[in-house]
Structure 1
Amino acid sequence: MFSLLVGLVIGFGLPLQTAINSRLRRIVRSPLVSSMISFSVGTLFLVAILILSRQGLLISEATIAHQPWWIWIGGILSVVYLTGNIVLFPHLGAAQTVIMPVVGQLSMSMLIDNFGWFDSQRHPLTVIRVIGGIVVLLGVLLVVFTNSARSELKIQKSHASVDERRPRNSTSALPWQIAGVVTGMLSAAQTAINGHLGTVLASPEKAAFISFLVGTVALWIIVAAYEHGIHVKPAFSRKNPWWVWIGGVIGSLFVLGNAYMVPKIGTGLTVVVVLFGMISGGLVVDSFGWLGARRISVRPVQLLGVLALICGVILIKLF
């Protein structure tokens, strides 16, 4: 039960992190730079946790030598997923940029559970669990495909170029839809990898630290190459609200929570519970306009979607 509560809390925090990083993105005028700052802050926060809990930052040579190579790439997959969403949005729009990765996350997480990939605990795939996954996907569809989501998409498209506003045929969108599913699958793989890393190191805190450290190093390299330098000075202006710095803290707690949950309840249920928390948190942020987010009223069909998510979680958990 405690693991489910952890999943709900960290999932609820993701929309808050998104709102914070969106504000930071407007300040530094770069999604990559805002992500780099967020990852860097999260890494420092995890360093503080390890120091306060008297855990070392280093890993033994024996652990590095005897563990498979994939155990260290969780942070890289996180960066790919983050960057993938940025790249996908102009080609798929807001709704499909949410839906396609979710399809990948649900599919991959259940495959990981069924086959025990990444040394995960096996949770056999039953008909009821498949139905539960479909019900969860239906809930996501109901939440995303609403009039409020469409109106938001129209506003975003109004700022796009004429070429971007032209209708896209299904054939041209198909490669991007596949890419969206793949990024979601990588996200689920990252969850399983970090969970196993936490078990190997006997410390979900250290697993989260390594994941964030790898992601931070990768983002610094990407930003230096793509942005032709590191430009973070605007972020330090005193005019900025203090909370623009805590997105990385929320993100680090998210990774830490996943590393804690996976060994206990499996990758599939972890992904679904976090997804439920994320959807619920997103509706609350939209409804109240927290952290500078644009206020969007919650529709009854969205509440129906949340109910479907709850039903899906129950099916996956109990069967």
Structure 2
Amino acid sequence: MFAILLGISIGAILAVQTAINAQLRRFVISPFLASMISFTVGLIFLTVTLVMSGSPLWIPLDLFLSQPFFIWLGGIGGAIAITINILLFPKLGSVQTAIMPILGMTLMSMLIDHYGWFNSMQYSFEWNRILGIALVLLGVFLAIAIKETKNEQSPTKTNKENMLKQWIWRVVGVTAGMLMAIQIAINGQLAKVLHSSSHAALVSFFVGATTLIVIVGVMDRSYTNITEPFKQSAPWWIWIGGILGGAYVLINVFLVNQIGTGQTVILALFGQITGSLMVEKFGLFHSLKNQIKRIQVFGLIVMIAGVFLIKIF
């Protein structure tokens, strides 16, 4: 029972992290800077955790040189994905910011499994996976259909333009999910090489943070907005997004060893969707409040059933 509650909780952590990072962006303006802060805080959190556990932080040079180069780059995909999520949150709301990346993750993970990309084990398409992806697609459609129906009832030029922008952002969200699936596959291989999922997470956060530091330097050409939350007396919790991300990784590692990957994914997904519903329904963390419809909840349940078929059977 404890493992079930913990699995649901780490999924909810992701929904909360996205809402917090979106608020952080309101103070620092740049989505790249907000992502950089989140990754850096997560990196510090993981470093302190590993040091306290007595684990070494450094990787032997011969091991670094002997592995394919891509195995060290998973954090780049994570850095891009979290930046996209920060951009999506004010455009699509909490629920769609959760479900569109889930769709992308599901599609890309099936392709990775089928073709064995990134040295992953191959799993061919079978009836359960085909039915599962069909349910995921149906669930996504139901979860966003209610809003599309409302817009179609008054098809003004402005509404049509807004609908087009919404679909562009949804495609971007799916892309973010694909990048996250690639990151997971790469980090899975890295964990095998390092014989430690925690060390793999640390490497991923280090690469992601370094990538974002460079991007901020190139795109924003300034880091001075880091001080804006202090100047504007921002709430303390806008700084903890990275800690939540690091905690998600560590708890995920623990649960995979306790109940297996498939059940961990399902529980985390359930928690993520439930958390995103709560954030949007109650406007938590100063986010935009929206009424959740029954058809959306049903669509999310259908999505979970689809992922269950793909991951468990």
- Report if TM-score (shorter chain) is over 0.5: yes
- The 1:7/1:132 distance shift into structure 2, 3 A limit, reads farther
The answer to whether the 8 Å contact 1:102/1:137 transfers is: no
Match of 2:217 in 1: 224
The answer to whether the 8 Å contact 2:21/2:35 transfers is: yes
Task: Summarize deviations over 1:200-241 as a string: whole Å, max 9, x none.
Answer: 212211111111111111111111121121121113348222
Match of 1:136 in 2: 136
The farther-off stretch of 271-280 and 101-110 is 271-280
Residue 244 of structure 1, CA deviation: 1.1
**Aligned residues: CA RMSD:** 3.7
2:292 is aligned with 1:310 = no
Q: Distance in 2 between matches of 1:224 and 1:9?
A: 35
- The 1:212/1:42 distance shift into structure 2, 3 A limit, reads same
Residue 25 of structure 1, CA deviation: 1.1
Match of 1:240 in 2: 234
Task: Summarize deviations over 1:64-112 as a string: whole Å, max 9, x none.
Answer: 122111111111111222344567899x966987666444321210122
Alignment of 1:1-319 (within 5 A): 8-84=8-84, 101-147=101-147, 167=161, 181-231=174-224, 232-237=226-231, 239-256=233-250, 274-319=268-313
Q: Which runs of 5+ in 1 are unaligned?
A: 152-161
- The 1:236/1:176 distance shift into structure 2, 3 A limit, reads closer
The answer to whether the 8 Å contact 2:98/2:272 transfers is: no
- The 1:77/1:2 distance shift into structure 2, 3 A limit, reads farther
The farther-off stretch of 185-194 and 39-48 is 185-194
The answer to whether the 8 Å contact 2:22/2:87 transfers is: no
Q: Which amino acid aligns with 1:286?
A: E
Task: Summarize deviations over 1:246-299 as a string: whole Å, max 9, x none.
Answer: 101112233445566779856x88766544432221001122332222332322
Report the TM-score when normalising by structure 1: 0.79
The farther-off stretch of 46-55 and 105-114 is 105-114
Residue 150 of structure 1, CA deviation: 7.0
Q: Distance in 2 between matches of 1:183 and 1:67?
A: 26
Q: Which amino acid aligns with 1:198?
A: A
The answer to whether the 8 Å contact 2:50/2:56 transfers is: yes
User: Aligned residues: percent identity?
Assistant: 42
- Give the number of equivalent residue pairs: 305
Report the TM-score when normalising by structure 2: 0.81
Q: Distance in 2 between matches of 1:208 and 1:45?
A: 11
Residue 313 of structure 1, CA deviation: 3.5
Q: Which amino acid aligns with 1:142?
A: L
The answer to whether the 8 Å contact 1:17/1:251 transfers is: yes
- The 1:270/1:149 distance shift into structure 2, 3 A limit, reads farther
Residue 196 of structure 1, CA deviation: 1.9
- The 1:119/1:23 distance shift into structure 2, 3 A limit, reads same
Q: Which runs of 5+ in 2 are unaligned?
A: 152-156
- The 1:77/1:258 distance shift into structure 2, 3 A limit, reads farther
- The 1:130/1:5 distance shift into structure 2, 3 A limit, reads farther
- The 1:307/1:317 distance shift into structure 2, 3 A limit, reads same
- The 1:250/1:89 distance shift into structure 2, 3 A limit, reads closer
Residue 310 of structure 1, CA deviation: 3.3
Match of 2:154 in 1: none
Residue 173 of structure 1, CA deviation: 9.9
Task: Summarize deviations over 1:140-177 as a string: whole Å, max 9, x none.
Answer: 332334349979xxxxxxxxxx9x9773898x999987
